[in-house]
Structure 1
Amino acid sequence: MSDAVVHGGIGQGYRRRLAALLPAMDLAYLMLVWPLIYARGYVPADLSSGPVAEAQPALLNRLFFPGLAALAVILLIAERHRIGRLRLLGSCLLVAFFGYLALTSAWALVPATVLTRLSLYVLLLISLIPAVLLADRLDDILRPMFWVTVTAVAVNVASVAVVHTTSIGFPGIYTHKNTLGANATIAGLFAIFALTRADHRIRVAGFLCLPAILGLLLISESKTSLGLLLLVPPAALFAVATRRRLRIALPILMVVLTIPAAFFVSGGVPGFDYRDISRVVSGDPSFTGRTDLWKFSASQIAERPMTGWGFQSFWGIGPASPATKMTDTFIARAPHSHNGYIDMALEGGLIAVSLFLSIIMMVAWWIDRLVDRDVGAGFLMTSCLLYMLWQNLFETDWLHGTTTSNVLLMLMMASAVALRNGRSLT
């Protein structure tokens, strides 16, 4: 049997295609499989009556994520003669970040919680590595993910006939209307990306999905998600166009645009600050109670500014949490501070925030190079990054819960450090 058959034939092609499907499998599990099997057993709740119901690691979780990670390791071993390599600096940065989060268990309020929850993200990251090391093109990974989002949109549209709207909005097949909003927004970003592809089937599917996605966002009453879907694509288009026309690197552009935005929102303009923005958007200057949470969280960060309280070992840990001692029931029952950056500082301190922002800049550099090679994929990744950066201003999603955003975040992290035949995955 020739080397071409052994190393370049049917077996190899099958394993490479399977590796490219792994991110779509993660996405399908979170957007479709878990909700359809487990989610209806959890009753959506408003914080006025208790914390939003969050699923504990169920049997399917304990089987799926280790199983997919094991499959990923098998694929890497089987294709070890073809796999690329990881950038040393980027790999060290990821190891330092996740290693430090594990180290926080030494001073965490509930040490076991740190290691249990962190292991889930490590398994998720492992399951994505074969895709970025073995796939020939990023498009081979993104196409299956797009079809997963199309299926999720169709299932949620169909659920309108059987799922009742709650007092705070329509949840679709999920536990909470905000989950539907977040997943619909991500599906919307993929649908817009589909319009840039040459395959007419993908373009038509993306075009047909957009009105359905807007309809789901409207009935879900997820104002943040709807606003982000309307704001993120134009901002991403501006960033990509500026990158290609003016040759301004995306990380530099992000910093340049963030400074005036931060100045504006923080009250740099006399008589106007974030309370005015909240009043315009929701009619409530406190961002529906979030400012009280942020003030409380800031006071707790001040107690442990460098190291934090431990990864995911502050909110939702029972009586051990300082939040449960608060007389304000909204704070006492909150599942998080509704701000990903504040929670990162609260749980990991300045060290975790610095490492994480360094990873975000590394991801931005990867997207910057991607824009030159595939403008459509670059636009999608820019959109996803902007969506996560902005969404975490009002919700906590950075490494909190098994969400579609975290699948995308981990995929971008892995892609940013991967090299295939001396080049980045494009």
Structure 2
Amino acid sequence: MPDLRRADVPRSQAAGCRRGAGGRHSMSETIAHRIGYGYRRRLATLLPAIDLAYFMLVWPLVYARYYVPADLSTGPIMEAQPGLLNRLFFPGMAALSVILLIAERHRIGRFQLFGSCLLIAFFGYLGLTAAWALAPAMTLTRLSLYILLLIGLVPALLLADRMDDILRPMFWVTAVAVAVNVASIAVVHTTSIGFPGIYSHKNTLGANAAIAGLFAIYALTRADHRVRVAGFLCLPAVVGLLLISQSKTSLGMMVLAPATALFAAGVRRRLRIALPILMVVLTIPAAFLLGGGVPGFDYRDVSLLVSGDPTFTGRTEIWKFTAAHIAERPLTGWGFQSFWGIGPASPAARMTDTFIARTPHSHNGYLDMALEGGMIALSLFLMIVLMIAWWIDRLVDRDAGAGILMTSCLLYTLWQNLLETDWLHGMTTSNVLLMLMMLSAVTIRQGRALT
């Protein structure tokens, strides 16, 4: 016969029975605790939006114009050293993240073992390259900023219930950035190469406007009519900014990335072809075509068709120079961010070609990843990209709008880095998105992946 004195009663009820009126006090403490959790969770989900606001609004308005010249053809390159604002912002965000994780340590999710080890191996190896880097102090300093940024994003992904809880505040930040850049037309003069907005270069405005356009399209898929209206108003403003900035590449990618993402989502649903497999299947013929597999046609013809210049505005010479130095250290590379922009120690500084000597990177993220980290870093990074694609593949099934946005962002970064170096280089919006996707791909929330 069961012991009736030890009946299975919830502890909170039993405590209330034992304390009498004290039970009401226990209930009030529980309610206050839940309110505190809700407040902390909402704060955690805002952290990626705060990072985005820093890159899109705070940094350019406070510091950017004093660090990067608008035209590399004149004057020496100004080194982008970490400013006071960086030294306050990134450690502060990381400290806030640690506090939130400690406060909610019983509710946080966890990370997948394989994905976590892959990220640790990648960033750990980038740190290890300081042992043979040309400028080891610069390698460690710049890498530390990205590590702090990564830590600052962790609470959002471990505490959020849905991906929309993170993406919606980020959309509002992009909407504000669009409004500020539209307003800047009245006070900022157009340069000879295009309108820069509040940024130091017209390409930065183009890149941020394109990303804002992707978020505006995402806003149109939400049920909240206020978000949809804001997204509808943002789209024409984004197109206008892209046109006056003369950022044709960004305009093209803003159109192509969502269209390709929608196509990929349709293939995923209809033919049940996973996104990583689809990416590999489409990459092989594209690489064959651009690599000269078809007689009389290669990447120079594409450049001539798009820009009227078969050299991608001088990039091919930089790519040849970069490829030659990759061949010197093919496995280990020259050190993370320890080749370009490090002064006389850089092999580029000794070149008589002023464009190569002044360039801040090779204008190709894949080449720079191999140049700085060798085939080891490039291989680890491409594995991370495929891991992100697997996560997005699951996200599309649960939230098509968020899945298409993340697919668009992934395609945008992959294509952007064909002509520019953006991965872990500089204060860019796409680096926030890249790290957000990295962490999202390895996060398990309440027994399932974050969706």
Task: Give the TM-score normalised by structure 2.
Answer: 0.92
Q: What is the CA–CA distance in structure 1 between the aligned matches of 2:391 and 2:78, rounded to whole Å?
A: 36
Q: What is the CA–CA distance in structure 2 between the aligned matches of 1:159 and 1:54, rounded to whole Å?
A: 26
The 5 Å alignment of 1:382-421 reads 382-421=407-446
The answer to whether the 8 Å contact 1:338/1:396 transfers is: yes
Q: What is the CA–CA distance in structure 2 between the aligned matches of 1:259 and 1:184, rounded to whole Å?
A: 30
Give, in angstroms, the shift of residue 43 of structure 1. 6.2
Aligned to 1:272: 297
Aligned to 1:116: 141
Give, in angstroms, the shift of residue 40 of structure 1. 3.7
Aligned to 1:338: 363
The answer to whether the 8 Å contact 1:50/1:333 transfers is: no
Give, in angstroms, the shift of residue 55 of structure 1. 3.9
Q: Deviations over 1:6-53 (max 9, x none)?
A: 686110000000000000000001111111122343563323225665
Aligned to 1:185: 210
Q: Deviations over 1:208-248 (max 9, x none)?
A: 11111011011111121111112111111101111111110
Amino acid at match of 1:315: W
Question: Does structure 1 residue 13 correspond to structure 2 residue 38?
Answer: yes
**Matching residue within 197, 213, 236 for 1:211:** 236
Indicate the SS of the match to 1:17: helix
Indicate the SS of the match to 2:186: coil
Two-structure CA RMSD over aligned residues (Å)? 1.3
The answer to whether the 8 Å contact 1:53/1:175 transfers is: no
Give, in angstroms, the shift of residue 156 of structure 1. 0.1
Q: What is the CA–CA distance in structure 1 between the aligned matches of 2:76 and 2:246, rounded to whole Å?
A: 19
Question: Does structure 1 residue 132 correspond to structure 2 residue 157?
Answer: yes
Q: Deviations over 1:70-103 (max 9, x none)?
A: 0000000000000011101000000000000000
Amino acid at match of 1:392: N
Q: Give every structure 1 segment of 4 or more consecutive aligned residues whose post-TM-superposition deviation is greater than 6 Å.
A: none
**Matching residue within 372, 376, 394 for 1:351:** 376
Q: What is the CA–CA distance in structure 2 between the aligned matches of 1:107 and 1:290, rounded to whole Å?
A: 27
With over 3 angstroms needed to count, the CA separation of the structure-2 counterparts of 1:366 and 1:8, relative to structure 1, is farther
Aligned to 1:366: 391
The answer to whether the 8 Å contact 2:221/2:401 transfers is: yes
Indicate the SS of the match to 1:156: helix
With over 3 angstroms needed to count, the CA separation of the structure-2 counterparts of 1:324 and 1:412, relative to structure 1, is same
The 5 Å alignment of 1:206-245 reads 206-245=231-270
The 5 Å alignment of 1:166-205 reads 166-205=191-230
Question: Does structure 1 residue 302 correspond to structure 2 residue 332?
Answer: no
Q: What is the CA–CA distance in structure 1 between the aligned matches of 2:28 and 2:425, rounded to whole Å?
A: 46
Give, in angstroms, the shift of residue 393 of structure 1. 0.2
With over 3 angstroms needed to count, the CA separation of the structure-2 counterparts of 1:355 and 1:115, relative to structure 1, is same
Give, in angstroms, the shift of residue 391 of structure 1. 0.4
Amino acid at match of 2:332: T
With over 3 angstroms needed to count, the CA separation of the structure-2 counterparts of 1:215 and 1:393, relative to structure 1, is same
**Matching residue within 62, 74, 94 for 2:99:** 74
The answer to whether the 8 Å contact 2:79/2:341 transfers is: no
Indicate the SS of the match to 2:330: coil
Q: What is the CA–CA distance in structure 1 between the aligned matches of 2:28 and 2:297, rounded to whole Å?
A: 69
Tell me which structure has the larger Cα radius of gyration.
Answer: 2
* Percentage of pairs with the same residue: 80
Indicate the SS of the match to 2:448: coil
The answer to whether the 8 Å contact 2:109/2:443 transfers is: yes
The answer to whether the 8 Å contact 1:45/1:51 transfers is: no
Amino acid at match of 1:254: M
Indicate the SS of the match to 2:169: helix
Structure 1: state its 5+ residue gaps: none
Aligned to 1:320: 345
Q: Deviations over 1:348-385 (max 9, x none)?
A: 00000010001111100000000010000000000000
Q: What is the CA–CA distance in structure 2 between the aligned matches of 1:170 and 1:21, rounded to whole Å?
A: 31
Q: Deviations over 1:372-425 (max 9, x none)?
A: 100000000000000000000000001101211000000011111111111011
Q: How many residues align?
A: 426
The 5 Å alignment of 1:16-165 reads 16-42=41-67, 44-50=69-75, 55-165=80-190
Q: Deviations over 1:198-217 (max 9, x none)?
A: 11111111111111101101
